[in-house]
Amino acid sequence: MKSATMMGMELRRFAKPDEVRNFEKGKVELLHMGEDVIGRITLQPGWRWSRCVKQIAGTDWCEAPHYQYVISGRLHFLTADGQEFDLGPGDCLHIGGGHDAWVVGDEPFVAIDWAGMGAYAKP
């Protein structure tokens, strides 16, 4: 089922995304719902934005804003102003542009993102 729409409701599943963007050690699966884009991002151990996506984005830092909910794995963030922190399962994050990030440990990082995925990993 691609979608179910009734009385202003839309049901979608990541099992059948509208678009998949693959990049080194990762992918983002996108659902286009109305004017919004929701992404499930999966990043493998060894992934780092500045090594795996920077050349696609063409910027020094990831400039995508993120509203994320972490399903599994751990991600370490470094912001342009020097702040550092980790995310893990159950964490919610809102961050603006100007950051780098990398997977910590041997488990893939998986999160749902409600912002920033529409243009993520696009030139």
Instruction: List pLDDT tens digits, range 44-77.
Output: 999 999 999 999 999 999 999 999 999 999 999 9
81, 86, 91, 92 alpha-carbon torsion, rounded to 10° = 20
Residue 11 lies in a domain: no
Exposure letters 13-39 (e unless 16+ CB within 10 A, then b): eeeebeeebebebbbbbbbeeeeebbb
Residues 6 or more apart in contact with residue 58 via CB below 8 angstroms:
123
Structure tokens at 101: 């990030």
Q: Is 52 left (phi over 0), alpha (psi -120 to 50) or beta?
A: alpha
Question: Which pTM value belongs to this model?
Answer: 0.90
Residue 22 lies in a domain: yes
User: Residue 63: which CATH number?
Assistant: 2.60.120.10
How many domains does the chain contain in total? 1
Range of the domain at 88: 18-113
pLDDT of 7 reads: 65
Residue 38 lies in a domain: yes
